[in-house]
Chains A and B, each alone.
Chain A
C-alpha cells in the first residue's frame, strides 16, 4: 500500500488510482470538473491542481493535475499550497469569463457543481470586463434543454454520450474558445442514456426538460430513495416531489446496480404519476355513507362478504402487496397476473438462477466481464442499463494491452488512444437488428428454433452432458464454433438472455450454454432479464397464471381482486373478458385507468411507487426497497393498505392483524425461505439515528409555512410516516442515513450530485455500509442444470416479440416525453420473409395470428432472416398476442410508396 504525504501528513492509500480520486476518498475537498468517477481522467479543465514535491527537501515543487497523476509510494503533495490555491481560483476565473452568471434563472442553481467549485476555490470577484461569446441553443428532443452559454467546456458530455454510452449524435464542434457541444444540427438526441447528461454536466447546459415543466429547486424537493419501476434491472433512483406532484427522478448511486447512471425510460418515465389518467378516488358502485374512504369501501364490499375470493397479482406490484393479496385469496386462489407463457418463462428463469450452478451477475459484475454472449434479447430495449454495462465490458479485453503499456485505466484518453477501435468479443444471437449490433464481434440472426439449436450445440461442444436440440446446418455450425471459441478464450464470460424473447427454447438453450461454460470457467456468469420490475419477485411466489382460471369449474363464482394489473396486456381480449365474466364482483386496485379497471365494479386508487413503499426483486435476484416520497391525497392508498382494508371488509382473516408495512414484511419473510432476507433489506419504521428520523426534506426547504396558505394560514401538522424511518419534513438527523435510506445526496460544500463521493467508502466504490439490496437467489447446485430442448418444426412464418425502450413498457409510455419517442405500431419483417417484392418498407399487410386479424404497415429489417417477422410488444393501441406465434394468412393491402 503506497504511503503518501498530503500537506505534511501521511496517508496509506490504494495503489493504482490517481491523486484526485485518492484525495476525494480521503475526504479532502479538491475541486474538479472534467474528471468523473465513471469516465476517468482527461486533464482538460485543470481545476484539480495540487503542488507536487520531488522529495522532502524540495520546497518549490511544481503544479500537477491531481487527476492525471498516479499515486506513488513516498509521494509528497500539497493541496493548501498558496500557488495551487491561486491557480485553482484562476481556473474558475477563466471558466467564468464566458459564463452568464444566470444562476437565478438556471435550473441547475442550488445543485450546481460549478457553483460549489466556485465557492470552494474562493473565487468571488469578476475581473473580466470584456464581451462574452454567445451561442445559439439547440432543440434536443423532449428530454433535455440546451443552454450552451453556460458551458465550461469540460468535455464530460461528449465523453459520456459518445465514448461511454456509444451515442452518435452529440459532439464537440469548432475550436478554441468557440468550442460548442451539441448536435451537428437541431434534433432529438437518439441515445437511450441521454438523460444522464443532466447529471454529468457540471453546470446548466443540459437540464431535465420534464423538470422544467414543473420546476422545483433541489432544496424544495421532498425526496425519498426509490427503485425504478420501468424494467427488471431495478435501478436505484431518487424521487422528488413538491405540491403533491412528482417532479424529478435522478440517479441514486448503487455501486452494484446502476452506478452513476439511469436510462431515459427510467429517468423520464415518472410522469405517469402525474397524468390525468390517474385513478384518484375510489369508484364505488353503490351509494354508501362513511366518514372516510375506508368506511365507504367497507360498506360497499359488505355484499361481497363470504364469497370465494380470487386474487390476481402483478409483476409490477411490490412483494408486499402481492403477498397480502395471496393471503386474502388463500391457498390455490392466488394467480399471477401474467400470460401463461410469461409465467412459464419467468418460473423457469427463476429456477435457473436458484437451482443452476451459474450465479446471476449484477451490472457491476457485468462491467468486469471480458466476453459477452447475448441470446435472444435486445437488451437496450428490454433492460437498457444492462446494455450500458455490456458496452463497458467490451473494453476489458483490449484494455489489457494498454495496462501492459503502463497506462492506468483511469487515464481515459490515453487508454482509448492505445486501444483505438478494438473491442472484446460480443456475440449477439437475435431475431433481428439490435442496438448493440454495432459493437458486436458477431451477430447471428435467427428464428427461436435456430437460436436454441445453436445454443444447445455450443453447450454440447463444451460439455458432452449437455443435450443437443437437432442438427445444425453449415452456417449454424460455424456460429456455434465461433461462440465456443470466444467462450473458451474468456477470463470472465457472461451469458445474457431472458424472458423477453418469449421463447422457452431460447431461454433454456442460453442456460445450457452458461452451465456448460461454467464447467470450464468458475468465473462464468449469467444475466436473465424479466419483463417487469418485480417479475422475479412474483415468480418466486406460489400461484398459477391467471389464464388457468378458464379451466376451473365454471360455477364457483365469487369476488376477483385484480392488483395493479391491466389483464389486457397479458392475454387476448376474449380470454380476459371470459375470465372476468366468471366472477360476480371484480375489484381493481391500481393507480392508472385501463381497460381492466374501467370494466370493474369497484376500483380503488393505488399509490404509485412514489406514494407507497415496498420491495421489488430485480432480475439479478436482488430485493430492493423503495420508500414513499409523499403521502397521497384523496382516496389514494398504498395497494397493500387497500388490501388490508378489503381483507377486513370481506371478513377474511389473515394471519394478521397486520397494520403496518413492517408487519407485512415480517410475515412475508416468514412465509418462505427465499423471502427471509427481505426482513433485512431496510431498517424498520422504528429505526432512529440518535432518536431522530431521516428527513425527506433538506434543511434548506423553503416556504413550508406558506405553501398551504391559500387554504389555511395555520400550518398543519405534517403527516407522520408509520411505515418508514423517514420524516416528511426537514426535521431529523443531519447524519448520513444507512445506504438504503438516503433520500438525497447533499454534503456541506457539495450541493450537486457530485456529493455522492461523500457517501461512498471510496470514490466509485460501494456506498458506506454496503450497496443497498440483498440477493435472494444464489445457485445451490453442484451439478449442471441442463434442459432438453425439443426441436420443433418451424412454421412458415414465425412472428416474434420486439421491444421498445420507449413504448413497450406500460407505465413510462404514459409520460408525455416518453410517448413522444414511442413508435407507431408496425410489423417488422426481413426482406425475404414475405417475398422480396411484397414486403417493402411502408407496405400495409394484413395477417392472422392465433386466429385474429391484424393490419399493420411493414418496416423492413434487413437483418431479419427468412421466415421471421416481428411485432412490437405493448405499444399503445396494440392488442396482446402471445408471441412467438405462427402467422398464417397474409395479404397485402397497399403497396409501399
Chain B
C-alpha cells in the first residue's frame, strides 16, 4: 500500500510525463525516500500503481545504482571513488571507515545505522576527497574528520 503522501508525490511525477510508466524511476525514488529501500513488496505496489509488470519495473530498478533493492542502514554513506578523489587519497577514508564502522562497500553496520557504498565522481573534484551522507555533501574530508562527521547521523 502506498501512503497518501507517496501517492501525491508519485502523481506529481506522473503529471510531468505522457504516460504513467514513464514516471517509474521517480516513483521508485519517492518510495525509497519514505522507506529507505525498495522491497519486493514496495516493488509490486509501485508496479501496480503504474500499471506495469513487476518484472518490467524491477528491470529498471536494478539498472540504477541509487535505487536500493536490498535494505540499507538509516544513513547511506556514498564515498566518491573516482579519479580526483583517488589522487587525493580517498582510499584512506575507506580504510578508516572500515576500521571505525567495521563495514566495507555494500555492507551495513550491525546496528543498522550506516551503509557504505562507493559512488562515482561527486562533482566536487577541486575539494577532493569527498563523500555524501544522505543528502549532505562533505568536501576535503580527511580521515581525522570522519568520526565527528559520522556522529551527526544517529
On A, residues with C-beta under 8 Å from B are 162, 168-175, 180, 183-185, 421
Contacts and interface: CB of A to CB of B under 8 A. Distances in A.
Contacts of A185: 40
Interface string B32-59: 0000000010010000000001111011
B53 A173 contact: no
B55 A170 contact: yes
A172 B40 contact: no
A173 B62 CA distance: 6
Contact of B62 (A162, A169, A170, A174): A174
6 contacts: A162-B56, A169-B55, A171-B56, A171-B59, A173-B63, A174-B63
A171, A180, A185, A421 pick with most chain B CB within 10 angstroms: A171
B52 to A, nearest CB: 8
B126 to A, nearest CB: 28
Nearest to B64: A175
A374 B35 CA distance: 46
B43 A184 contact: yes
Contacts of B63: 173-175
Contacts of B43: 184
Contacts of A175: 62-63, 65
Given A173-B62, A175-B62, A175-B63, A183 B19 contact: no
A170 B59 CA distance: 9
Contacts of B58: 171, 173, 184
Contacts of A168: 53, 55-56
A172 B61 CA distance: 11
Interface residues of B, number: 12
- Give the 5 A-B residue pairs with the shortest CB-CB distance, closest first: A168-B53, A171-B59, A184-B58, A171-B55, A173-B62
B59 A169 contact: no
B14 to A, nearest CB: 15
Nearest to A185: B40
Nearest to A175: B63
Nearest to B43: A184
Nearest to A169: B55
B30 to A, nearest CB: 20
Nearest to A172: B59
B139 to A, nearest CB: 28
Chain A CB count within 10 A is highest, among B43, B55, B58, B63, for B55
B39 to A, nearest CB: 12
A255 to B, nearest CB: 32
Interface in B72-114: none
Contacts of B62: 173-175, 180
B58 to A, nearest CB: 4
A168 B59 CA distance: 11
Contacts of B65: 175
A173 B65 CA distance: 12
Contacts of B56: 162, 168, 171
A169 B19 CA distance: 21
Contacts of A169: 53-55
A668 to B, nearest CB: 49
A174 B59 CA distance: 7
Nearest to A178: B62
Given A173-B62, A185-B40, 9 more contacts: A168-B56, A169-B54, A169-B55, A171-B58, A175-B63, A180-B62, A184-B54, A184-B55, A421-B19
Nearest to B54: A184
B84 to A, nearest CB: 22
A140 to B, nearest CB: 12
Contacts of B54: 169, 184
Residue from B19, B43, B63 having most chain A Cβ neighbours under 10 A: B63
A421 B18 CA distance: 11
Contacts of A162: 56
Contacts of B59: 171-173, 184
A175 B59 CA distance: 9
B153 to A, nearest CB: 29
Nearest to B61: A173
Nearest to A421: B19
Interface centre among A170, A174, A180, A184 (most CB of B within 10 A): A184
Nearest to A161: B55
A173 B54 CA distance: 12
Contacts of B19: 421
A175 B62 CA distance: 7
Contacts of A170: 55
A170 B63 CA distance: 15
B20 to A, nearest CB: 10
A736 to B, nearest CB: 41
A169 B54 CA distance: 8
A162 B54 CA distance: 13
A421 B55 CA distance: 18
A183 B62 CA distance: 12
A345 B63 CA distance: 52
Contacts of A184: 40, 43, 54-55, 58-59
A497 B54 CA distance: 33
A609 B58 CA distance: 43
Interface in B113-151: none
A200 to B, nearest CB: 17
A174 B60 CA distance: 8
Contacts of B40: 184-185
A799 to B, nearest CB: 32
Which of A162, A169, A173, A183 has the largest number of chain B CB atoms within 10 A? Answer: A173
A562 to B, nearest CB: 47
Nearest to B53: A168
Contacts of B53: 168-169
A285 B55 CA distance: 58
B36 to A, nearest CB: 20
A421 B22 CA distance: 11
Nearest to A182: B55
A172 B55 CA distance: 9
A169 B65 CA distance: 22
Interface string B1-35: 00000000000000000010000000000000000
B25 to A, nearest CB: 14
A171 B59 CA distance: 6
A171 B58 CA distance: 8
B63 to A, nearest CB: 5
B138 to A, nearest CB: 27
Contacts of A171: 55-56, 58-59
A778 B43 CA distance: 53
B19 to A, nearest CB: 6
Q: Which of B40, B58, B65 gathers the greatest number of chain A CB atoms within 10 Å? A: B58
Nearest to A183: B55
B16 to A, nearest CB: 16
A174 B54 CA distance: 14
A71 B19 CA distance: 36
A421 B17 CA distance: 13
A2 B66 CA distance: 49
Contacts of A172: 59
A172 B60 CA distance: 9
Contacts of A173: 58-59, 62-63
Nearest to B44: A184
